């Protein structure tokens, strides 16, 4: 699933390509991503509106319109591709529209936007400004914002009887972090993913806070991580997969101490860590 760096990369490309364009038409070939909205409702709300800006909240994209927004969540395999009608598509871009293209936006000046999703777990629908506000209020702080501090992280972990890995995946605690960057941040902070959130000290939260921000900024710089389905709207792969230190490196030597990286299940997710750099001892209940 695309996480904050991938969605932010997509946002930046779409902001450059779509802001100021007017939606002339929407072609919908499959309604599952629209639910509970209908194709007719989406077309009625979005057609004729101008895209004011492209924003991101956690893993959601918001195409802000003159009235309301188009809300996009990419799910597991969702993709957004932008191109100009009549111009050659990038060599790596699939022939569009294809059987996996569920929504096509035709905009003025020949601009096209395709929402493609092989597994159909993504979402694409129109929402009101009030719904957008409620969505944002239900999420935790953005990890790159001033509102996310070591103190707020420590407070959110207090009395939490679950692993720090599970808590980092909780979008009410920190918005936008997923499996890849949780593993990478915990490694950089030298914290075992199995440790209960309630036992972390302010010093550990300070390290973890810095590691989260560091790894996310670095991943954005390299346009995200491409392991399978992620491409930006210009069909470019991410580059951060070449800089991963633990994720996807089971059995390979740790980049710090040469101990083989382990993989196990934590928070029902495949989790990678170095047993030497991230030692774990079960703590007594306090």
Q: Which of 120, 236, 269, 275 is catalytic?
A: 269
Q: Which of 56, 59, 64, 165 is catalytic?
A: 59
Residues 191-202 as b/e (b if ≥16 CB within 10 A, e otherwise) read bbbbbbbbebee
Per the structure block, which two tokens stand in for 233?
């709207």
Q: Which of 2, 5, 143, 193 is catalytic?
A: 2
Q: Does 218 qualify as catalytic in the annotation? A: no
Per the structure block, which two tokens stand in for 121?
């777990």
User: Cβ distance 215 to 184 under 8 Å?
Assistant: yes
10: nearest Cα among 282, 220, 217, 207:
220
Q: Which of 3, 8, 142, 184 is catalytic?
A: 3
Q: Does 3 qualify as catalytic in the annotation? A: yes
Per the structure block, which two tokens stand in for 65?
């319109």
Give the contacts of 149 (CB within 8 A, at least 6 positions apart): 209
* 97: preceding bond cis by omega (within 30 degrees): yes
* CA angle (28 as vertex; 26, 34 as ends), nearest 5: 100
Q: Does 269 qualify as catalytic in the annotation? A: yes
Looking at the DSSP bridge assignments, the partners of residue 113 are 82, 105
Q: Does 59 qualify as catalytic in the annotation? A: yes
Q: Residue 115, Cα to own-chain centre: how many angstroms?
A: 16
DSSP string, 261-274: PEEEEETTEEEEE-
Q: Which residues are catalytic?
A: 2-3, 59, 269
């Amino acid at each position: 699933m695309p996480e904050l760096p991938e969605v932010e990369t997509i946002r930046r490309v779409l902001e450059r390509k779509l802001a100021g364009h007017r939606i002339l038409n929407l072609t919908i070939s499959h309604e599952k991503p629209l639910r509970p909205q209908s194709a007719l409702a989406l077309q009625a709300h979005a057609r004729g509106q101008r895209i004011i800006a492209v924003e991101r909240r956690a893993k959601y994209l918001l195409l802000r319109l003159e009235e309301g927004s188009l809300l996009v969540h990419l799910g597991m395999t969702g993709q957004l591709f932008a191109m100009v009608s009549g111009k050659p598509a990038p060599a790596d871009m699939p022939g569009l529209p294809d059987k996996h293209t569920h929504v096509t936006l035709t905009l003025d000046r020949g601009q096209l936007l395709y929402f493609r999703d092989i597994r159909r777990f993504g979402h694409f629908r129109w929402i009101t400004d009030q719904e957008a506000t409620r969505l944002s209020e239900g999420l935790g702080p953005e990890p790159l914002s001033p509102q996310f501090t070591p103190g707020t992280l420590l407070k959110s972990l207090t009395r939490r009887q679950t692993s720090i890995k599970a808590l980092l995946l909780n979008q009410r605690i920190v918005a936008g972090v997923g499996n890849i960057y949780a593993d990478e941040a915990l490694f950089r902070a030298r914290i075992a993913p199995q440790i209960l959130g309630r036992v972390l000290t302010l010093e550990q939260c300070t390290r973890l806070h810095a590691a989260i921000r560091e790894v996310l900024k670095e991943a954005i710089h390299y346009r995200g991580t491409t392991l399978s389905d992620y491409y930006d709207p210009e069909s470019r792969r991410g580059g951060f997969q070449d800089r991963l230190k633990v994720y996807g490196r089971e059995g390979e030597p740790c980049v710090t101490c040469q101990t083989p990286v382990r993989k196990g299940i934590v928070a029902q997710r495949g989790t990678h860590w170095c047993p030497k750099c991230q030692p774990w001892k079960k703590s007594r209940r306090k």
